[in-house]
Chain A
Amino acid sequence: MSCAFVAGVGMTRFGRFPERFIKDIGAEAVLEAIRDAGVNPAEIEVAYCGHTRGGSTVCQRILNEIGISGIEMVNMEDACASGSAAFRYAYLAVANGMADVVLAIGVEKLSDKIKGVIPPRKDDLEGLFGRIMPSVFAMIAKRHMYQYGTKVEHFALVSYKNHLNAVKNPRAMYRKELSVEEILNSPVICEPITLYQCTANADGAAAAVVVSERKIKQLGKLPVRIAASVLCAGGARVEDWDYTVSLSTVNASRRAYEEAGIGPEDLDVIELHDCFSVAELVHYENLGLCPKGEGARFIEEKRSYINGDVAVNPSGGLLSKGHPLGATGLGQVYEVVQQLRGNCGERQVENARVGLTHTMGGGVSGLESGACAVHILVR
């Protein structure tokens, strides 16, 4: 496999844009990424587009809008990891020598489709019984509290930190600082998770131009190398599995560390899948940032703050930046690339050199998760 680099990134603001078409939202992010990379649109050889509810041939509709047609285009669905799947396939196309310039797009428009909680599938055993996404993480929270003595305040602290980070991110959906009391006193969604500990469904798009070594040299861009790319489905739960562990996150991150030749201690910045406050807390453990059961201490000691050991979700994360399902993975790539380039202004992580993105997708009865993607980016 040869090296692959991110030459350009683009992202819309995440939020609710009921008056905009999905193709316009997508085109905005793609245009920014192409211009950022400095490539000619005619140089793009393949395009992958991740989305969950965009309907048929979204990639074609977006690219036709700006005058790109006739090339190989593939639309991908892997629930909330759809954008990360598109990014991985762009990486694979370049790393396998199939193309020099590949476009990855993530896009979603939910504001005209879903109000409030996403309805679970009726053909899924657990979905039928009302296993909505916040309940999955509420059950993890209950078990984590039982096994390790974690308190609701610890979960709220995660949400506090991410809202604080989002204040400094002009592309985030919610840019208001919230106190721990406000977070805990907001309406209960699934016990013990309250409203301000849940991500918000959003509209938005993000895109990345992935290129070969030859091309990145020609473009004269700061090379941000994709040092690892892993995507896997969650494993089946057999007998006495531990609900506080995301085994797909553990396995995918260990494989990614090995591929990149680094350890978790080398990471400067992480954008991880904080769909709910408790998710981020357990992913500190799953990603190996701290020992099992010590996620509460990790946030309490502010080790995941922007100026801590490793900045986790400096963008505000899904909790505050917003969660346009299929766009989320590429939104994470956008943030990490801008952090590695030193473009993040007030929320800049000092001298960030190594970054990781982590995206989870979906829920299936009997499986630990639908999908899990981990990418490591290095400058």
Chain B
Amino acid sequence: MKKYRPFMKGVIKVKDGGKVALIGGRCSRCGKRFFPRRVYCPACGAEKVNEFEIGGTGIVYTYTVCHVAPPDAEVPYAIGYVDFDGVRVFGKFVNWQERLDIGKEVELIPWKEGVTEEGDELISYRFEVK
């Protein structure tokens, strides 16, 4: 049976039906939220940071289209920050040509980043422009 693995530890959850959610942190003392989650709250230093899920629909905060890249990436590609209910997340866009702009809605979708030696799928995320 094919297994799914997060592409990076502590960043993403693969849910039933192949959906994904990102793992954010919410401070139990000051209430501030951030992504990715940290051990201590970066805003106030509190030790108790609760996990919360980030996903669904977000709004593009800023972006760029890159026409140069390190040798292993294809150009052009679009990257940027998206606000999900007040938490800003960085990622790569899909379906962005002639549609991407600040203020546009995007959907957080699962993305196959690669396959491990054991044949498991490495699951990452993308922002799909609506």
Which residue numbers of A lie inside 8 Å of B, CB to CB?
116-117, 119-120, 125-126, 128-132, 134-135, 138-143, 146, 187-191, 193, 235-241, 243, 365-366
B90-119 Cβ-contact flags toward A at 8 Å (1 or 0): 111000000000100000000000000000
**Extra inter-chain contacts (10) besides given A130-B77, A190-B68, CB under 8 Å:** A117-B70, A125-B8, A132-B69, A143-B61, A187-B67, A191-B64, A236-B42, A237-B34, A240-B86, A365-B36
| Complex contacts, B73 vs chain A, CB 8 Å | 130
Q: How far is the CA of A331 from the CA of B83 in the complex (A)?
A: 39
A190 to B68, CA, bound (A): 7
- A129-B91 CB under 8 A given contacts A143-B102, A366-B34: yes
Per-residue A-contact encoding for B45-82, CB less than 8 Å = 1, 0 else:
00000000000000001111111111101000101110
Q: Do A135 and B32 contact each other (CB < 8 Å), given the known contacts A129-B91, A130-B79, A238-B43?
A: no
CA distance A236 to B63 in the complex (A): 20
Interface size class of B (residues with CB under 8 A): 35 or more
Shortest Cβ-Cβ A-B pairs, 4 listed:
A236-B42, A138-B64, A119-B70, A143-B62
A239 with B66, Cβ < 8 A, contacts A130-B73, A131-B79, A366-B34 known:
no
User: B1-25: which have CB < 8 Å to A?
Assistant: 7-8, 11
Partner of A129 from the list B33, B38, B68, B90 (CB cut-off 8 Å) is B90
By beta carbon, the residue of chain B nearest A129 is B92
Instruction: Please measure, in the bound complex, the distance between the C-alpha atom of A134 and the C-alpha atom of B92, giving whole angstroms.
Output: 16
Are B70 and A189 closer than 8 Å at their CB atoms?
no
Chain A residues in 8 Å Cβ range of B7: 128
Alpha-carbon distance between A138 and B102 when the two chains are bound, in angstroms: 13
Q: Is B39 an interface residue (CB 8 A)?
A: no
Residue of B nearest to A120 (CB): B70
Asked whether, in the complex, the Cβ of B32 is within 8 Å of the Cβ of A139, the reply is no
Q: How far is the CA of A240 from the CA of B33 in the complex (A)?
A: 10
- Determine whether the beta carbon of B92 is less than 8 Å from that of A146: no
> Contacts of B87 on A, CB cut-off 8 Å?
239
CA distance A4 to B77 in the complex (A): 49
- Whether the Cβ atoms of B36 and A135 lie closer than 8 Å is no
B73 to A, closest residue via Cβ: A130
CB pair B79 A135 closer than 8 Å? yes
Closest chain B residue to A188, Cβ basis:
B67
List residues of chain A with CB within 8 A of the CB of B42. Answer: 235-236, 238, 366
